[in-house]
Homo-oligomer: A and B are copies of this chain.
Amino acid sequence: MEFSAQQIADFLNGEVVGNKNIKVNNFSKIEEGKHGTLTFLANPKYTHYIYETKADIVLVNRSFKPEHNVEATMIKVDDAYQAISQLFMLVEKFKPQKVGISAKSDIAASTTLGDDVFVGAFVTIGENCTIGNNVKIYPNTQIGDNVSIGEGSIIYANVSIYQHCVLGKNNIIHSGAVIGADGFGFAPDEQGHYSKIPQIGNVVLGDDVEIGANSTIDRATMGSTIVADGTKIDNLVQIAHNVEVGTHTAIAAQTGIAGSTKVGKRCVFGGQVGITGHATIADGTILGAQTGVSGSIKEPNKVWIGSPMLPVDTFRRSSVIIRKLPELAQKINTIERELQTLKDSNTIPSLK
């Protein structure tokens, strides 16, 4: 499908500067712009590319003032990044939608499917599940007994959802994610042999939750492991049993949160963060990548980094010095020697 600069500007409430009739049928990055494509300029670092891009249309912020000639047609919008995202969403909407129930799936008779549900080949859905309207379940996914999935959710391929878990509306669960496996709970006897503590709770995901590929959210020992509305979890993340994550929190890849920890609202965690069990993390906490959190964080909206974690300023100052520790140690040795010399020279006079 092709669209003209004018059609796109109309959709985005933007203003065309250049050829209103030029048409594009695809997107490109500004540094790799090609004829027939639309690109955007949002990050000022990339400004120099606009003078040489081969893309035919560039979305720019209304505030953008070119310093040289721009060959491409520009569409001025309030926020170029948001505008390109709007166009991406439009494209997604027009993609052919998966529909229908594959004859090659295996769905228990006691399960209820809503309207316009898609179930791919080799999907298994257990007993007494409730699958909401417009839910899409991609091939090879397994859903255990008594699971409930809210309307509009997308479950990609090869996902495993254990019995009794509850997913909200408009969730997106990426391939390989495991929702509701047993929490890691064992009681050691006197010889140090472990006996398993059955994990009889479940997982509850709120609305608008996204879970990344191959992430694992363990079921609670008792009660629920909870990920609240609007929270986004990246790939390969571990959420242990009885953890509760608040609303609108973002957790980057390979982070792990140990059992029973409560994470607040609007937190942002970088990749490979580790948080100990039974801790409470205040709302708005920001953790840099690889941060190690060994206890509760009580003050909201603070930035921490390092393992063990430090306030970000302290961490930066300490890191600079860690690099210079060998010099510092040497300096101390020199000082010690000189001090001794001084003491020696001073001692003699004092003996006089």
A13 within 8 A of B: no
List chain B residues, Cβ under 8 A from A186. 232, 250
Chain A 275-312 per-residue mask, 1 if CB under 8 angstroms from chain B, else 0: 01000000000000110101000000000000110100
> At the interface, yes or no: A194 with Cβ under 8 Å from chain B?
yes
- A2 at the B interface (CB under 8 A): no
Contact: A160 with B187, CB < 8 Å? no
Category for how many chain A residues contact B: 35 or more
Give complex CA distance A223, B214 in Å: 23
A156 at the interface (CB under 8 A from B): yes
Known: A223-B28, A289-B276. A323 touches B350 (CB 8 A): no
Give bound CA distance, A187 to B81, whole Å. 9
Please name all residues of chain B whose beta carbon is closer than 8 Å to the beta carbon of A350 when the two chains form the complex: 345
A109 to chain B, nearest CB (A): 14
Interface residues of A in 207-244 (CB under 8 A from B): 210, 212-214, 216, 218, 221-223, 230, 232, 234-236, 238, 240
Residues of the B chain whose Cβ atoms lie less than 8 Å from the Cβ of A193: 230, 248
Q: Assess the B157–A142 pair: CB atoms within 8 A.
A: yes
On chain B, the residues within 8 Å of A290 by CB distance are 274, 292, 307
A234 to B254, alpha carbons, bound, how many Å?
Answer: 14
Tell me how far the C-beta of A247 lies from the nearest C-beta in chain B, rounded to whole angstroms. 9
Which residue of B has the minimal Cβ distance to A81?
B187
Please report which residues of chain A, range 311-352, place their CB below 8 angstroms from some CB of chain B when the two chains form the complex. 314, 317-319, 321-326, 328-329, 331-332, 335-336, 338-339, 342-343, 345-346, 349-350
Q: Please name 29 pairs of A and B residues whose Cβ atoms are closer than 8 Å in the assembled complex, sorted by A.
A: A29-B223, A82-B187, A121-B124, A140-B158, A156-B162, A172-B182, A175-B181, A184-B234, A191-B248, A194-B230, A196-B210, A216-B235, A238-B271, A253-B258, A254-B274, A272-B272, A274-B289, A289-B294, A290-B307, A307-B307, A310-B323, A314-B323, A314-B326, A318-B323, A322-B322, A332-B332, A338-B343, A339-B342, A342-B346
Contacts A82-B187, A122-B124, A184-B252 aside, 6 further interface pairs with beta carbons under 8 A come to A160-B176, A172-B182, A176-B216, A192-B248, A192-B266, A345-B346
